[in-house]
Structures are given as structure tokens and as C-alpha cells.
Structure 1
């Protein structure tokens, strides 16, 4: 009895199979990093808190007119973290502020990495005068204080979350551009790039089909590392008073505590929770980023 040969899989099915195997291999290697697992667990907790905020604390937690408590009240059974100067529950504000801080951090990091990746890939591919101009602009952004540029941009544009995201994104991309350009130059020197050019591959084909897949691991690792920096930058901008005053964020809570005199009055419950939250989520993203970087580039683990 003869058995019929299985029909060959389609290219799409083969691509999906390769992606599944790559994802499984990545997870097996990632699980060997204990710090990365701790960071991932912490990020999962922060994400759950942010996503369930409308159910746990409600959307009217920032309402000043219907504040449930007395102003500047200390922690109690009713208000676990006390109240702010308007009598609002600080625990509810902390939970609700996680949505804004995480959203701004993620979007600003993505914007920064996209700008840096585009600049790095094009500068590494085209070279010549174009690369010189792009890298000189990159050097200018590198030597300028990022916070000062972000504050200036946020002060000029209308005060909104979009402005904060834009201010952080357009001032933090140079590091990514430098890293991606170096990786692009290494990829462009490989023989298969020469073969692709000899077969008539254009600039767009080479950059999208050959260079981009090879720099994506670096871009992914850089994104996870940039999120923590973006969250800290958002908190700093809000603390300096150039954020969006209509939304609740951890940085805005710190700025509000400063204006209320919490530092001089010793109202620790007004200052410590948002500060610990900012530090905790930044540390969690950093741990995940280092683990991802180590998995995607095993030579880093050997060097360390």
C-alpha cells in the first residue's frame, strides 16, 4: 500500500511556522533570566492595574468638586494612602495615573525608536553627503540636554498628552539612530547584499527586505529600554509643570504635592507612592529590556 506524499506547505505557512519556532526559542532563553522574569511579572501587574482602573476606582476619581475626603488627610482605613489637597483619594489617583504614565511612556518610546531606526537605516544605506548631514544632526541632539529641549518644545506647543509624547519622542532618538546605523553598516557589508544589488534590488527592497529584519532585534531591545526613560521624562515634565494639567499622571501627582507644600510639611503619603510607582515601572522595563537584549545578542551575556 502506497502512501501519498504530503503536499508542500505554502510560503505563508512556512513563515508562520518559523515565527512560532522563533518565539518559542526566544521564550525558552528569556526564562533563564530571573531578573527579566521579575520585571515581566511587575509589568504584568502594572498593566492589569492600569487596564482595570475604570472598574476599581472609577473614572470620576479626579473630580475635585465631589472629593470624598478632607484635604491633606493621612492614611486611614477609608483612604489607604490618604488624600490630596482637594480631598481626593490618593490611591485612586495613583491607580488612574498609571494609565497615563504607561501610555505616554510606550507611545513616546515607539516614536523615538521609529525616528531613530529610520535615520539610522537610511544613513547607513545611502552614506555620502546624506549620511553626513543626518549624523551631524544626530550629534547635535546628542550633545544638547534632552530635558531642556523637551521642556522648550512642550512649552511652545499646546499643553496636551500629544505634546508630551512628541516632545519626548523627538528629543530621545539619537542613541537609537547611532546603534541602528552601526548595525546597518555591518549588514550592508555582507555578500548577500551585493548579490541583491546585482540582481536589480532597489534601495527600498534592500532596506525593507534585508536590512530591516536584521536590525529588528536591536530595535526591539532598544524599545524596551526606552520605555523606562520615557516614563521618567514624562514624570519630569509633569513635575516641572509643562505636562497636561487636565489628566492625572504620576508626575502630575508629584508636582501637585510640591505645590501643596508636602515636602516642607512632611506629608510622605503625598510624595512616596507616585515616586515609588515611577521608579518601580522604570526598573521593571529596564530589567525586561536587559533580558531581551541579552537573548537577542548572546555575546552581551558572555561580555558581562
Structure 2
């Protein structure tokens, strides 16, 4: 043996041996899974486009109070020209009260997105709870919950939402509650079906054998496995909630003092925009609703394909 050669000390692991922790092994499993999800999502151009649209509107909604004051939205304090066409001073023209349509559009994103997100959270939380409980317990409890779900499905959602919003009174709160009450059934049925599939897996049986209670099984075994489905359902439910908010507000169930995209369409329709050919007042809120709904739909579909690669073979 030459002097240039070295002999490892006794008991020391050889270079590259299995005992030496690798860089990949040091990454927590959840972080590694998140990285794989991000990489797979970025490889879907439609999902990236949808997420970019949503980020644009979210940023506009967040920074709106920095450059839009209450005086610019108050019909009693503005003094701009009435229903004027787009110009340098007013890029999207003005409404029948002299307010800038561009400022109304940006501020309306705050109210519309807030109603859509809150209604979706209520819908997903309640629907997921009903679906998990019905799928876990089954029997009389499961059948009773599913009968209630089927009863809500049988009712026409739009007339029911209109009735609830009318009873609760005008405003964003009543519209949010009306949307949540009429939208949770689809989530409940999807989550129940997934819960039944998860409950049949061996690890749930092992948890029962080890003495896990019903609450532990639902929260620690079932919920993490149905969470991807809940996430996909949430992104698609927001789009539906935004359309429902615009519909209910257009029908006059929103507060006249609130600035939402649906309220803008309502004010334009009943404020003479059609007769005055004020297309600049009608098109922007409708296109904004279309863009956000498209963004949530593209993002939701991309997330669905990433979480369930088998969807590629079903197309």
C-alpha cells in the first residue's frame, strides 16, 4: 500500500455508504410533497394562467384602499361628468353618478371576492362535516343526513337563495348565507363518497383495532385523505359563489351602498346604460366576473389533475 492511500478509521462509515444521510433524506416528507406539487402545477400552463389571473385581482383588491378614498365612491360627493365615454381622465368612463368605472371595478373586486370566499368557506366546512359524519357512521345517522342533503338538492337553488336573501334582508351578509345554504350539498355528497372509500382501507381498520375513537378516525385518518378533494371542490365552489353573488345582487338583493360587480351591473341596467349605449359601464364588471370565474376554474382543474394523475387518462 502506497503512502498516498488512506485507510478509513475503524467503525467510520465509508464515503457514500448507507449510513451517511443524503440531502434528499433530510427533507421532511411534507416539504418534499409540497415541492412535487408545485413542480407539477407549474408544468400545467392553464393552471399557471388561472393562478396569475387570481393573483392580479387579489393584489388589486388588497391595494385598493391605498389609492381609492370614500369620497371617490360616494354619489353625494363626486362631481364627474355623467355617463361619459372612456378618456384620459377616466380610462373606463363614468357611471350615471359621475364616478369612475375603473375605480368602482377595482373596489368591487374587494366586496365580490370577500363574499365569494366567505361563502365558499362556509359551504365547504359544512358540506365536508356532513359528508364525513354521514360516511363514517352510516346507518340511521348517515341515511338521515343524506335524506336532508337530497331534500336540499331537490329544491331549486336560485329561488331558495332569493327567498333566503329576501327574508334576511338586503346586504352582503344575507347573500353570503343564502349562497352557503344552497351550495353545500355537492360538497357533502363528494366527501361522503370519498369517506366511504377511505374507511374501507386497512389503516383505518388498524386504527380501530388500536382503540381509536370515532373522532380520532374522522380527524386523523379520514380528513387528511379527503382534504385533496375538499381543496379541489373549494376552488370550483368559489367560481359558483361569485356567479351566485352577481345574480342575487343584480336582482336587487344587495345593499345599494355596497360596491360589487353584481351591484355595478344592477346600477348600469337600471341607470340608463342600455338606452345611453354606455357599453363602458356594462362590459367591465361582466368581464371581471368572467375572468375571475375562469381563473378559479383553470386553477381548480389543474390542482385536480396534479392530485389525481389518473385524470389524464380520463380525458
TM-score relative to the length of structure 2: 0.90
- CA–CA distance in structure 1, aligned partners of residues 79 and 88 of structure 2: 14
Structure 1 residues 16-25 or 36-45, which shifts more?
16-25
What RMSD over aligned residues (CA atoms) do the two structures have, in Å? 2.1
The alignment status of 1:161 with 2:172, answered yes or no, reads yes
- CA–CA distance in structure 1, aligned partners of residues 79 and 303 of structure 2: 44
Q: Deviations over 1:81-106 (max 9, x none)?
A: 11111111111101100001111111
The alignment status of 1:294 with 2:293, answered yes or no, reads no
- CA–CA distance in structure 2, aligned partners of residues 16 and 162 of structure 1: 44
TM-aligned CA deviation for residue 263 of structure 1: 2.1
Superposed structure 1 runs of 4+ greater than 6 Å apart: none
- CA–CA distance in structure 2, aligned partners of residues 79 and 169 of structure 1: 37
- CA–CA distance in structure 2, aligned partners of residues 146 and 218 of structure 1: 23
The alignment status of 1:267 with 2:278, answered yes or no, reads yes
Contact 1:115 1:170 in 2 (8 A): no
- CA–CA distance in structure 1, aligned partners of residues 197 and 176 of structure 2: 32
Equivalence map 1:187-266=2 (5 Å): 187-266=198-277
What residue in structure 2 maps to residue 186 of structure 1? Answer: 197
TM-aligned CA deviation for residue 143 of structure 1: 2.1
TM-score relative to the length of structure 1: 0.93
- CA–CA distance in structure 2, aligned partners of residues 81 and 47 of structure 1: 20
Contact 1:68 1:89 in 2 (8 A): no
Distance 1:257-1:16 versus aligned 2 partners, 3 A rule: farther
Equivalence map 1:65-80=2 (5 Å): 65-80=76-91
Distance 1:203-1:158 versus aligned 2 partners, 3 A rule: same
SS at match of 1:248: coil
Contact 2:169 2:253 in 1 (8 A): no
- CA–CA distance in structure 2, aligned partners of residues 278 and 59 of structure 1: 23
- CA–CA distance in structure 1, aligned partners of residues 147 and 27 of structure 2: 41
Contact 2:71 2:78 in 1 (8 A): no
The alignment status of 1:36 with 2:47, answered yes or no, reads yes
TM-aligned CA deviation for residue 271 of structure 1: 0.4
- CA–CA distance in structure 1, aligned partners of residues 115 and 261 of structure 2: 11
Structure 1 residues 114-123 or 242-251, which shifts more?
242-251
Count of aligned pairs between the two proteins: 299
Question: Which runs of no fewer than 5 residues in structure 2 stay unpaired?
Answer: 1-8, 14-18
- CA–CA distance in structure 1, aligned partners of residues 84 and 111 of structure 2: 25
What residue in structure 2 maps to residue 91 of structure 1? Answer: 102
**Highest Rg: 1 or 2?**
2
TM-aligned CA deviation for residue 116 of structure 1: 0.8
